[in-house]
A and B are shown apart, each in its own frame.
Chain A
Amino acid sequence: MSGLLLKDFLSVRKQGKTIAWVLAFYLLFFVALDRMGGPKSADSMLTVVISIVTMLAVVLTVNTFAYDEAAKWDVFARSLPVGARGIVGARYLLAVLYSAAGALLALAAALISGRGRIGPDALAACTASGAVPLILCSVLIPLFYKFGIQKARIAVMAVFLIPFVAVMLLKNFGVPVAVSDAQVLLLKLSPVIVLAAVGISFFISCRIYRNREV
């Protein structure tokens, strides 16, 4: 499985350098804003950083499917002694690693913003930046295995748009979208929810992958 994971990392090596530069730029920008504009500017910048790392974790995982499909990698991968669980498992592990890296970056930004301290809101946002990509990938990965990246593109748009549209609608109908008790409970339960989502999704993906012909 580590070989497949390495393949995915090496495949995005070039792209990774560009992303690292963009992230470094945002982090510098973030620190500069914090120094000049004070906590309010830094808070809004923190939101930007968290949004970026959340999106990146999903996009980078999605991209590996695109690379695999373009190279017809699965024909070769299936000839290797790794089994469906190994191939699918490596992809989930990749999503976990990207999400964890995103959460750590968000945490670093929150620590800078809070001068070494983290408030409950910032901590919740950092947790969400690790949990949200995993939930999204849990929805997307089985779809990619079932339909391929081209056909499942619409699903990618949907997973990004549906939460956004839902929040906008709630706002329009006057439903409060500020942190409520229910949302706090949801955040506390998030490790269990994420674990369950990833586990169920992995199980479904393995079944799809085993039955898929390449």
Chain B
Amino acid sequence: MGFIGENGAGKTTTIKLILNEVRRDGGGIKIFGRDNIRDEEKVKEQIGVVFDESYFYGGLTADDVGRILSRVFKTWDPALYDRYKKDFELPRGKTIKEYSKGMKRKLSIASALAHRPRLLILDEATSGLDPVMRSDILDVLLDFIQDESRGVLFSSHITSDLERIADYVTFLHKGRVVFSRSKDDLTEQYGIVKCGASRFGGLDKSGFLRWRRGGAECEALVADKNEARRRYPGLVVDGASLDEIMLLYIRGEKA
């Protein structure tokens, strides 16, 4: 599940609510059918979390992290952790403060996966990394979700990463879910209608989810691009990327 939204939309707050790191005003959260607060420890035993930065003290080594977490998670698998350390080429002797940003992120992922969680939560886990490092991490995630009993909640600004690995996308805007849909539905069905500003004024806008005027050109988001092509013959109707959908929902006007 890809989790998208602008800064301040509530993505990290949602994740912190799931982890009971902030207090909720109302409502409830169920993970694996259990209440996330009443059954907090049982739920967290099956969750792995990767944040946008490393929260381990810089004087520790990757081996230290393994020794610590093996005493925290009942299902910790030292052989799996060693495999990740080897695959990620995490140096044994180096302390975390000597790691690059990418290495720190890989250590976080290795430590989040080594107890074989059912749910992996990533909060901006690929932000600030180069494309090669991001691709390595996405490969690990793709490998992780091969087992269909597992899931990933991946909050990210980098929508191209989500387009590559997400099955579903949830879009959050001002703390509310705008949509939560299959990614294929979004990318295959949503479209952008493009035309000049003069022509746009005369169009029936009831089929537009959002629209936006940018100088001489206007863009409108539609939920069904094939239907839009029939309805507006002669206009350009392109497929919509997650970035474009997000941008039009946030910046666009609606009827």
Residues of A within 8 A of B (CB): 2-4, 6-7, 10-11, 13-14, 67-68, 70-73, 75-83, 211, 213-214
Nearest CB of A to B107, in Å: 12
Instruction: A79 to B69: give the CA distance in the assembly, Å.
Output: 12
Nearest CB of A to B16, in Å: 8
Nearest CB of B to A70, in Å: 8
A76 and B59 contact, Cβ closer than 8 Å, known pairs A10-B64, A81-B45, A81-B73:
no
Task: Determine the chain B residues whose CB is within 8 A of the CB of A2 once the complex forms.
Answer: 71
The answer to whether A11 and B23 touch across the interface, beta carbons within 8 angstroms, is no
Task: Determine the chain B residues whose CB is within 8 A of the CB of A71 once the complex forms.
Answer: 54-58
Q: Which of B23, B43, B51, B73 contacts A76 (CB 8 A)?
A: B51
Q: Which of A3, A70, A76, A83 contacts B71 (CB 8 A)?
A: A3
Instruction: A67 to B60: give the CA distance in the assembly, Å.
Output: 12
Q: SS class of chain B's interface: helix, strand, loop or mixed? A: loop
* B220 at interface, CB cutoff 8 A: no
Nearest CB of A to B182, in Å: 28
Task: Determine the chain B residues whose CB is within 8 A of the CB of A10 once the complex forms.
Answer: 59-60, 64, 67-68
Chain B: residues with Cβ within 8 Å of the partner, total of 32
Residues of B40-59 at the interface with A, using a CB-CB cut-off of 8 Å, are: 40-45, 47, 49, 51, 53-59
Task: Determine the chain B residues whose CB is within 8 A of the CB of A3 once the complex forms.
Answer: 68-72
Q: Which of B22, B23, B59, B72 contacts A80 (CB 8 A)?
A: B72
Q: Tell me the nearest residue of chain A to B48, going by C-beta.
A: A79
Q: Tell me the nearest residue of chain B to A70, going by C-beta.
A: B57
A75 and B41 contact, Cβ closer than 8 Å, known pairs A3-B69, A14-B59:
no
Other than A11-B60, A72-B55, A76-B51, give 18 A-B pairs with Cβ distance below 8 A.
A3-B69, A4-B68, A6-B71, A7-B60, A7-B68, A10-B68, A73-B55, A75-B21, A75-B55, A76-B49, A78-B21, A79-B44, A80-B72, A80-B73, A81-B72, A82-B41, A213-B22, A213-B23
Task: Determine the chain A residues whose CB is within 8 A of the CB of B70 once the complex forms.
Answer: 3
Task: Determine the chain B residues whose CB is within 8 A of the CB of A70 once the complex forms.
Answer: 57
* B158 at interface, CB cutoff 8 A: no
A80 and B57 contact, Cβ closer than 8 Å, known pairs A2-B71, A3-B72:
no
Task: Determine the chain B residues whose CB is within 8 A of the CB of A6 once the complex forms.
Answer: 67-68, 71
Q: Which of A67, A79, A81, A83 contacts B57 (CB 8 A)?
A: A67
* B19 at interface, CB cutoff 8 A: yes
Instruction: A119 to B53: give the CA distance in the assembly, Å.
Output: 55
